[in-house]
Amino acid sequence: KYQTKIFTGVENRKLPQSVDEWRGMARSTLTKDAWDYLEGGAGEEDTVHENRSAFKKWRIRPRYLRDVSKRTMEAEFLGQNRESPFILAPIGVQSILHKDGEIASARAAAKMNMPFILSTVSSITMEEIVKKSPEGEKWLQLYPSKDKNIIRSFIKRAEKAGYRAIVVTADTTMLGWRERDLNNAYLPFLRGEGLANFFSDPVFRRRLEKPPEEDLIKAIMEFISVYVNPFFSWEDFKEICSTTEIPVILKGITHREDVELAFKSGARAVVISNHGGRQVDGAISSLDALEEVTESGDLKGEILFDSGFRHAADALKAIALGASGILIGRPYAYALSVAGQEGIELYLEQVLAEMDLEMGLSGIKNLKELNRESLYRKY
Ligand code: FNR
């Protein structure tokens, strides 16, 4: 089903067929500022590279003669059966990548039956996204603001607009040291990009003397002072979990004890993630963290994974190590940059096609068959 479309998609031949090609084309499409913002990481980008190299120590052990003619990529998380394990990660300010911004991503995700996580700092408001892309499951990512009333307001708006989960990001209590952006003197927020959810929020607007339309600079400064919170604590997280009926997911943790605390505090799931290496330079890779987290004992919630997924083999390895779902990050942003909604759809079809082949050729008919025994640890 997946390959036929790709092999016969002659009209798509002008578009890339591999993630590296999408990446190359995105690089030549975007302004230097936008490219560096998308591609960059913290410090010397050690963690960005480590996220990739961690996959190399695990090898798949293919098994044969198992009749792999019927395969399914079905996965289960947040209490629902899914067609595939993939989810689109929250990536902020998509207007710097493509004119359609998050609308393109939300529509592509809906078309491919994958949940779409809208960033707090999206270029388009959460309500507008639902209006323009009513199909498909959406989750709202939340940077815990310093102002608890803003948090409550965002959660209420998300519930009302039909978002099905709140994804609280733990790893961004401050913005990481990103040298490319510092060299370019570029931060999209300082140019008024990515502030739609704040500028449309009644609680945020009450903090301003004049509305953003009248004094943009002051509004941007106010945003900078409240959008993240170095005081954020487990007590605050508990409070968020008890504020809402919809599932809360904690994203951006890598320590086993933090995972346990998250579940104890009321999280339904966690995303093992280091924000694609954009926050703590030198941090443990996300895959190594996943291995540590799932190594022993039962966990009282679901484990999702991101930071480093580029190929089907990576997804099989992460699932074998205990992930129920995989967030796709930069790769879909490359495809968005190159060809908007159509680009993301084509890229996601390629992901599913590769995944389906990689599974079948490894002797896997159902992702549930994957476990540590499916892998060989090289070092
Ligand atoms: C991100 N990420 C992110 N995460 C989040 O919780 N809120 C956000 O607004 C953003 N914004 C954002 C912008 C850009 C340009 C990137 C590249 C990433 C992190 C994202 O959700 C995910 O964790 C990483 O992208 C995963 O790493 P890889 O797979 O992209 O390397």
Q: What is the pLDDT of residues 60-113, one digit of tens each?
A: 999 999 999 999 999 999 999 999 999 999 999 999 999 999 999 999 999 999
Question: What sign has the CA pseudo-torsion 158, 164, 170, 175?
Answer: negative
pLDDT of 355 strictly over 80: yes
Per-residue pLDDT for 15 more than 60? Answer: yes
pTM above 0.95, yes or no: yes
The tally of domains found in the chain comes to 1
pLDDT at residue 378 greater than cutoff 80: yes
Atom of ligand 1 nearest to the CA of 306: 26
Residue 228 belongs to some domain of the structure:
yes
Q: Do the domain assignments include residue 69?
A: no
Average pLDDT over residues 333-346: 97
pLDDT of 7 > 90? The answer is no
The pLDDT value recorded for residue 10 is 58
Dist. CA 350–CA 105, nearest whole Å: 16
Candidate from 91, 142, 232, 280 with most ligand 1 atoms within 8 A of CB, to mutate: 91
For residue 335, tell me if it sits in a domain.
yes
Q: Is 28 helix (H, G, I), strand (E, B) or coil?
A: helix
Which residue in the list 49, 98, 275, 311 is annotated as catalytic? 275
Give me the interface pTM, i.e. the ipTM: 1.00
* Alpha carbon of residue 152 to chain centroid: 22
Percentage of the chain with pLDDT > 90?
95
Helix (H) or strand (E) holding 326, with range, is strand 325-328
Q: Which residues line ligand 1 (CB under 6 A)?
A: 37-38, 51, 89-92, 119-121, 141, 169, 251, 273, 275-276, 278, 306-309, 329-330
pLDDT, tens only, 277-330:
999 999 999 999 999 999 987 999 999 999 999 999 999 999 999 999 999 999
Decide if 274 contacts 286 (C-beta within 8 A): yes
The band of 14, judged by pLDDT with boundaries at 50, 70 and 90, is: confident
* Residue among 124, 275, 279 whose CB has most ligand 1 atoms within 8 A, to mutate: 275
In CATH, what number is assigned to the domain containing residue 264?
3.20.20.70
Q: Is the pLDDT of residue 9 over 90?
A: no
* Domain range enclosing 132: 2-59+79-365
Which pLDDT does position 6 carry in this prediction? 65
In a domain, 73, yes or no: no
In a domain, 67, yes or no: no
68 is a domain residue? no
Q: Is there a catalytic annotation at residue 275?
A: yes
Residue 74 lies in a domain: no
Residue 348 lies in a domain: yes
- Mean predicted lDDT score pLDDT of the chain: 96
Q: What is the mean pLDDT of residues 354-361?
A: 97
Share of the chain above pLDDT 70, in %: 97
Q: How far is the CA of 125 from the centre of ligand 1 (A)?
A: 18
3-state helix, strand, coil in the chain (%, to 5): 50, 10, 40
* Helices 19-29 and 32-39, packing angle to 10 deg: 140
Q: Which of 142, 7, 92, 89 is nearest to 304 (CA)?
A: 89
Please write the tens of the pLDDT for every residue from 101-129: 999 999 999 999 999 999 999 999 999 99
Digit-coded pLDDT (tens) for 175-230: 999 999 999 999 999 999 999 999 999 999 999 999 999 999 999 999 999 999 99
